[in-house]
Amino acid sequence: MKCSVAEQMIIDHALGFLEEKQERELKHHLAACEQCRTLATSYDLAVQALQTQDIDSQAMLEPTWKTVATAVATEKRMPLQAKLTKAFLPLLAAAAVVLAILFSPVFFSDNKNGEFTRMEVIQAYADDLEYLEFGNETTATTSSGISFQEFGLSTDDASYLFQQ
Amino acid sequence: MIPEIDREISQRFHNGDREALEVIVATCQGSLFGIGLKMLGGIHDAKDFVQDVCIKIYNKRSLYNPELPFAPWMYKIAINLARERLRNRKEFPGSDSMPAEIIEETPRHLLVDHEQSQAVHTILQQLEPKYRECLVLRFEMDMALKEIATTLDLPVGTVKTRLRRGLMAFREQWLKNGDPQ
């Protein structure tokens, strides 16, 4: 067995992944290779450290149940309020977004509230398309050699979208 | 080790029985504290973590299927909460050390153990959380590969890779820092 293969097996051994047969093969290799033995020892030490239980963790915990019981009791007294808040906050946020779109002066009003009216915005898009020569050729390619089909547009769609 | 919660307790918990919750808290708080300490790196954070997990599982009890084992469901919630805490944390953890009053009352050999466990926590905090959570579930909870995969909602292969990379990174840091023992 090559040391590079053994290295992988050493890690798997430390993680407890190896099957019996692989364990035997690794053991055989380690018996003959000092370098891999050192590596295996270092992995064993790392795993030992990770397995160390924290000292007296129960003692470090203050009476958890008292705090939990108080919190659970408080939660029980006002479940309706909590549920309503939980249900209505996302709805309110969604409604705010929808209203913002519906009443956006730029896109949906002909009154000159913002800097552009809807028509000006559409005209700006049309000018851009004209500048890019999308308005003139609708069947196969633009003069720049761009094929509409490359963008997933059928000839009919291209004709419809870019008609003068 | 994964604490055992029997079917009757988990069924009563699902029905909202607070005595069942008390049993669960008493049985699982130690292991949850271990996860909190290793994932978040501080005693106070870990204590808060235990309490918050216990409250959260109770609030989500209606989502638990009592036909299935209780522990994986609870640890999934615990790990998600730890992830959330880590995401929200702006400062690098590690300043939260053992309180002075506990040090005064702790025998010397336990303090040496504490030094080692502090070193382990420090190194774990330096690892990416995705590696850290796999290592904690494997070595703190002694979970098998499949159990880790179920808890983290990941394919077994991904868990295997993360465990390997995590252990390699941990060992490298452990050697650099010098084994405190």
Q: Please count the other Cβ atoms lying within 10 Å of the Cβ belonging to residue A16.
A: 13
Residue A57: what are its φ and ψ, rounded to 5°? -65, -30
How distant is the Cα of A98 from the closest Cα of chain B, in angstroms?
A: 29
pLDDT at residue number B42: 77
Residue B28 in contact with residue B5, Cβ under 8 Å? yes
Q: Is the ipTM of this complex over 0.85?
A: no
Task: Give yes or no for residue A10 having a pLDDT over 90.
Answer: yes
CA–CA distance, B2 with B151 (Å, rounded to integer): 12
Q: CB B29 to CB A67 under 8 A? A: no
Mean pLDDT for the stretch of residues B79-84: 89
Distance from CA of B91 to the nearest CA of A (A): 24
| Partner-chain contact B160 A50, CB within 8 Å | no
For residue B163, what pLDDT band results from cuts at 50, 70 and 90?
very high
Residue A47 is encoded by which pair of tokens?
Answer: 């795993």
Q: Would you place residue B98 in the very low, low, confident or very high pLDDT band (cuts 50, 70, 90)?
A: very low
What is the band of B33 on the pLDDT scale with cuts at 50, 70, 90?
Answer: confident
Nearest-by-CA chain A residue for B117: A54
pLDDT surpassing 50 at residue B171: yes
A47 contact residues in B (CB cutoff 8 A) = 139, 167
Report residue B86: phi and psi, to 5°.
-65, -40
Nearest CA in chain B to A43: B171
Is the pLDDT assigned to residue A56 strictly greater than 70? no
- pLDDT at residue B159 above 90? yes
Indicate if the pLDDT at residue A60 is higher than 80: no
Residue whose entry in the numeric block shows the structure tokens 């490298």: B172
Q: Does A4 touch chain B (CB under 8 A)?
A: no
Q: Please report the pLDDT score of residue B99 as a whole number.
A: 46
| Burial environment of residue B35 by CB neighbours within 10 A (0 to 12, 13 to 18, 19 or more) | buried
Minimal-distance CA residue of chain B relative to A83: B59
Confidence bin at B91 (pLDDT 50/70/90): very low
Instruction: Tell me the pLDDT tens digit for each residue of A125-136.
Output: 778 777 776 655
The tokens describing B103, both together, are 């040090």
Q: Select the residue of A11, A53, A69 nearest B168 (Cβ to Cβ).
A: A11
Q: Quote the pLDDT of residue B165.
A: 94
In the predicted model, is pLDDT for residue B110 greater than 50?
no
Contact A50 B120 (CB under 8 A): yes
Q: Could you tell me the pLDDT band of residue A75, with boundaries at 50, 70 and 90?
A: low
Per-residue confidence (pLDDT) for residue B47, from 0 to 100? 86
**Is A49 in Cβ contact with B120 (below 8 Å)?**
yes
Q: pTM, whole model, 2 decimals?
A: 0.62
* Angle at alpha carbon of residue A35, lines to A30 and A40, rounded to 5°: 60
Share of chain A above pLDDT 90, in %: 12
* CB-based contact A54 B34, cutoff 8 Å: yes
